[in-house]
A and B are shown apart, each in its own frame.
Chain A
Amino acid sequence: MGISRFVLLVFTISMLASPALSDLVLSKVDRRIYLTSHIVRISSTLEVENAGPETVSKVLLAFPDLQAQNLAYLMASPHEAKAKFKVSVVSFPIDVVKPEDMPPGVTFYSVSLPQGLTVGASFTFDVLAVFTHALRPMPEQIGQADIQLVLYQDSAYYLSPYVVKVQSLSLKLPDSRIESYTTLESTKVQGSEIKYGPYENLPAFSSSPITVHFQNNLPFTIAQELVREIEISHWGNVLVTEHYKLIHGGAQSKGEFSRLEPQARENVQGPSAVRYLVAHLPPRAHSVYYRDAIGNISTSHLRGDSKKAELLIEPRYPMFGGWRTAFTIGYGLPLQDCLYESEGRRFLNITFSSPVIELVIDTLIVKVVLPEGSSDISVAAPFFMKQCQETKISHLDIVGRPVVVLEKTNLVPEHNQYFQQWEEVRVAIQHVHNIICQCLATHDKLEASLRDLSRTGEVQACKAARKSTDGLLKELSKELKPLMTFLQSSPSAVQVLSKVEELVAKERELLEKLMAKHSTAVEAYDKKSGARDIESRIALQQQKITALRQEVDDLLEFIDEI
């Protein structure tokens, strides 16, 4: 039923296909579909050529809706010579788009190229698409000793809104036992690899469905729910606790289960059962434990080297199709591996997803427990996820520790990238303090110039000093502005903010009075009035200035102590 539905969909797409977008042409498409695990990875190398009238900076990728539902991870990166499906550091931004005049039943993603593609130029990039739940076990129920056969459906022609000049497809299977596969023109089987193509000059939205029925005895581990708790203690430890609820997602097990047979002839009986799981923990992980609701599980091995610590755990029973198990893994990491300080804020740099290899996670909940009293928390993650906050009361807590809860569905091992979490320590205030000190220094310079004036009577030098201090003060006030806006916007600086604003306002007042005094003094000297006269004029202003100066100094001391 699934096959005919797929064929019908593909037929509909090719019938309703509109004329291709005329500006881009895919001159070469190389697709490699890796079916060597229960996670299907399609790595395509696309060479795009701009045959149209204008520069293009976005390339559209198309997936049929049925396939796009299972899409867990999509990444586009510049082409590397020895391409294997590893997560590259540089990647292009990808968005979901819904362009008009496109046939229904197709989901489109648009890749933004770093530089626009000029007319006549060509560009090669790699696209990695990872699909979960894309392999269907057929037969759906097997006995304990049977091998597991799965079905995979795709299209031999690359589905694309552009014309494709040359394309080829190769499917890599886990072993050479292939039940059946669709034979089209130019199909070759080499060991455990099926090659289709090369096909030339195909119009847009062309597709030809193929089905491969093959043996896949690799473990189909799916975690229905994984709750990962990361607790940070500033005394030197980050404690990670992971609660797993696993299910074997392959062909369901039917008939009787006998414990003797798998133990007697291990490799022959129950080849598709999950007997062990491997997890790659960070290198200096310590205090690793593995237990479940009953108690400690002792069938585990831990091996460490400088790059990772490899944990091999065996569940209490081998998991056959449709069976579930639940357990908890916990480990501790030294604090200096995860927590860093930069620009006055601290951030936690840690991997997001599970350390178990080749695990599909349906729902992942990550809870980051920060030390008591943390404020101004923000998360920077390489992909979108739901966030919320709660409180946890733990050892020696009075108020409780803030917890950031992140939730994401449909994850694959490619999602295991680093994410960061920031919490604030106020250093912007330190900057403000420095700037105010510099302002006061310029005030002192002005005063000094006035004193020189009274001694030597040279007005020009005084005016020059005034000009230079004006320039300096303008620069300092420019520096001050962004710091003030930052302090006003950050919620943790609320208590100090009033004092800082007062300080800035008083400093400004002081500056104005000083400038006024300076101008009157200079004017008086210009008019060549007597010394006594000048003194009396500026006496009142001088009093105010000294009082203000005292207040500013007090505020500066107060802020210094924070």
Chain B
Amino acid sequence: MAPPAKPITSPVSDAWYPTLALLMLSIGLVVTASFFIYEATSSKRNRSLAKELITGGVASVFLGFGSLFLLLSAGVYV
């Protein structure tokens, strides 16, 4: 085989999985907490839909990636 074969590795190094999982989950949980606090402390009149949507979206992105890296660090290579 003329061209040499290059081994394929994961885009994120293995050793980072637990750190990334912890980091992303904690950020996601903090943003979720801020979403709940916002909902609890605001009244019907001064609630802004845009802020709710953005906070919810950011929280779900971080929680989603955090749970993916949590699965990977636990050995369930999805």
Contacts and interface: CB of A to CB of B under 8 A. Distances in A.
A36 B1 CA distance: 38
Nearest to A236: B10
Contact of A234 (B4, B8, B71): B8
Given A395-B71, A396-B78, A341 B8 contact: yes
Contacts, number: 51
Interface string B5-22: 111111010100000000
Nearest to A343: B3
Contact of A287 (B1, B9, B75): B75
A342 B8 contact: no
Given A236-B10, A236-B14, A340 B77 contact: no
A233 B78 CA distance: 6
A342 B14 CA distance: 23
Given A335-B10, A395-B71, A340 B78 contact: no
B37 interface: no
Nearest to B68: A396
Given A342-B1, A395-B71, A237 B77 contact: yes
Contacts of B27: none
Nearest to B6: A341
A235 B6 contact: no
B76 interface: yes
A335 B72 contact: no
B54 to A, nearest CB: 26
B10 A342 contact: no
Contact of A235 (B1, B7, B77): B77
A332 B75 CA distance: 10
A394 B78 CA distance: 8
Contacts of B14: 236, 334
A235 B5 contact: no
Contacts of B77: 233, 235-237, 239, 332
Nearest to A239: B77
A339 interface: yes
A541 interface: no
B10 A347 contact: no
A395 B4 CA distance: 33
Given A236-B14, A342-B1, A343-B3, A395 B8 contact: no
Interface string A318-348: 0000000000000010111101111100110
A340 B5 contact: yes
Nearest to B14: A236
Interface in B1-57: 1, 3-10, 12, 14
Contacts of A394: 78
A236 to B, nearest CB: 4
A335 B4 contact: no
A539 B12 CA distance: 57
A335 B78 contact: no
A395 B9 contact: no
A427 to B, nearest CB: 11
Contacts of B3: 342-343
B9 A336 contact: yes
Nearest to A349: B5
B3 to A, nearest CB: 5
B5 A335 contact: no
Contact of B7 (A239, A332, A336): A336
Nearest to B9: A336
Given A236-B72, A395-B76, 8 more contacts: A234-B8, A235-B12, A235-B72, A236-B9, A236-B77, A287-B75, A340-B8, A342-B3
Shortest 10 CB-CB distances between A and B: which pairs?
Answer: A236-B10, A340-B5, A233-B77, A336-B7, A237-B77, A342-B5, A395-B78, A339-B8, A396-B78, A336-B9
21 contacts: A235-B10, A235-B72, A235-B77, A236-B9, A236-B10, A236-B77, A239-B77, A287-B75, A334-B14, A335-B8, A335-B10, A336-B8, A340-B5, A340-B6, A340-B7, A341-B6, A341-B7, A342-B1, A342-B3, A395-B76, A395-B78
Interface of A: 233-237, 239, 287, 332, 334-337, 339-343, 346-347, 394-396
